[in-house]
């Protein structure tokens, strides 16, 4: 039962991304060709509001539900893994029109062939785990 | 009445703030918003820890995120079952003509080009390679980069992390290269 709140937030996320057409392959194609403002509006407004929200949370004494201090983990320094990992992910994102969140949401929408994309993504993560120590980070 | 209103496509200025709300709620519940780590969790649940130390961790501590993505799946089901929009996606005219030239029928009438994303296409060489290669790149790339759109573009940028900005630039380099060079090989 303690997971039900996360399930509920997930439902909100799933409905939002479906209704705003963020899960649409066409919208992602349009975004990567810079032919529409829609996706930039979605991501841009979310990022700006999230920056303000995190700034406010840090500045105020806003606490989490169980009374703890809200903290965010800093990313490790460096650039190689971020740039090259990012490029590899971008290649897959444009091909399937889905980043990890939308993969799940698309399956829920009835596009069940995305089960194959999900399994392949799990396989990709597994392959990374195998070669992780041979890669520059 | 409300259902009819909600069934229309939601504009960007509704979706953006709701994504922000998602991130805030996760922080309020003591967790950081980021979807791609669920792929690693699934590897661990499947026993990958026996093969690679990267998967040797207590995945029970990550079940909250599995609950989140199951919620996402349910949200997709609810939206498509009860809030379906009968109209086509309002794509840019250039996008429609570009895609028509590529041989995709009536772009925007459904969420996806069904000629590509169908089980029957999966059994063709092109269809299979596109879906499997795309998935592998997503899974490998997100873990190499340490996050995806949610973990880097939303959580990381909101915390003013330079690595996340580099990752997002990478996402777009990859996406643009893919649209121009990789995608044409598969459709």
CA distance linking residue A127 with residue B141, whole number of Å: 10
State the helix-helix crossing angle for B63-82 and B37-45, rounded to 10 degrees: 110
B59-64: long-range contacts, CB 8 A cutoff, minimum separation 24:
B62/B37, B62/B38, B63/A3, B64/A3, B64/A6, B64/B29, B64/B31
Query: Tell me, what's the pLDDT at A68?
Result: 86
pLDDT at A69 > cutoff 90: no
Query: At residue A93, does pLDDT exceed 90?
Result: yes
Tell which B residues from 50 to 109 touch A, by Cβ distance under 8 Å: 51-52, 54-55, 63-65, 67-80, 83, 85, 89, 91-92, 94-95, 98-99, 107-108
pTM: 0.96
**Interface residue B164 vs chain A (CB under 8 A):** yes
Question: Do A93 and B14 make contact, defined as CB atoms within 8 angstroms?
Answer: no
pLDDT, tens only, A15-68: 999 999 999 999 999 999 999 999 999 999 999 999 999 999 999 878 898 888
Instruction: Give A68 or B136, the one with higher predicted confidence.
Output: B136
| % chain B with pLDDT above 90 | 86
Residue B4 clears pLDDT 90, i.e. is over it: no
Query: Are the Cβ atoms of A87 and B43 closer than 8 angstroms?
Result: no
Q: How far apart are CA A119 and CA B169, in angstroms?
A: 26
Q: CB distance from A74 to chain B under 8 Å?
A: yes
Cα(B20)–Cα(A84) distance, integer angstroms: 27
Phi, psi angle pair for A56, to nearest 5°: -65, -40
């Amino acid at each position: 039962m303690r997971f039900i709140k996360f399930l509920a937030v997930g439902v909100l996320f799933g409905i939002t991304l479906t209704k705003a057409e963020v899960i649409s392959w066409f919208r992602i194609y349009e975004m990567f060709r810079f032919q529409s403002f829609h996706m930039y509006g979605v991501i841009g407004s979310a990022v700006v509001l999230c920056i303000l929200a995190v700034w406010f949370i840090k500045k105020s004494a806003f606490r989490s539900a169980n009374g703890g201090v809200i903290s965010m983990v800093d990313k490790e320094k460096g650039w190689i893994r971020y740039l090259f990992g990012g490029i590899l992910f971008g290649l897959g994102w444009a091909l399937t029109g889905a980043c990890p969140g939308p993969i799940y949401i698309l399956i829920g929408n009835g596009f069940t062939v995305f089960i194959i994309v999900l399994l392949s993504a799990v396989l990709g993560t597994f392959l990374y785990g195998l070669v992780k120590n041979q890669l520059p980070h | 009445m409300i259902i009819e209103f909600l069934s229309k496509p939601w504009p960007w200025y509704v979706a953006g703030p709701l994504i922000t709300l998602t991130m805030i709620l996760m922080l309020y519940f003591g967790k950081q918003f980021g979807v791609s780590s669920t792929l690693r969790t699934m590897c661990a649940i499947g026993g990958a820890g026996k093969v690679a130390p990267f998967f040797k961790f207590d995945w029970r501590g990550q079940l909250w995120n599995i609950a989140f993505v199951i919620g996402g799946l349910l949200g997709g089901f609810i939206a498509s079952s009860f809030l379906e929009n009968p109209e086509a996606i309002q794509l840019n005219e250039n996008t429609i003509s570009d895609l028509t030239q590529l041989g995709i029928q009536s772009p925007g009438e459904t969420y996806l080009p069904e000629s590509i994303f169908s089980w029957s296409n999966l059994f063709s060489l092109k269809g299979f390679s596109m879906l499997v290669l795309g998935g592998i790149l997503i899974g490998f790339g997100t873990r190499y980069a340490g996050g995806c759109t949610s973990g880097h573009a939303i959580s990381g940028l909101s915390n003013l992390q330079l690595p996340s900005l580099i990752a997002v630039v990478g996402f777009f380099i990859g996406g643009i290269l893919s649209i121009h060079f990789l995608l044409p090989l598969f459709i």
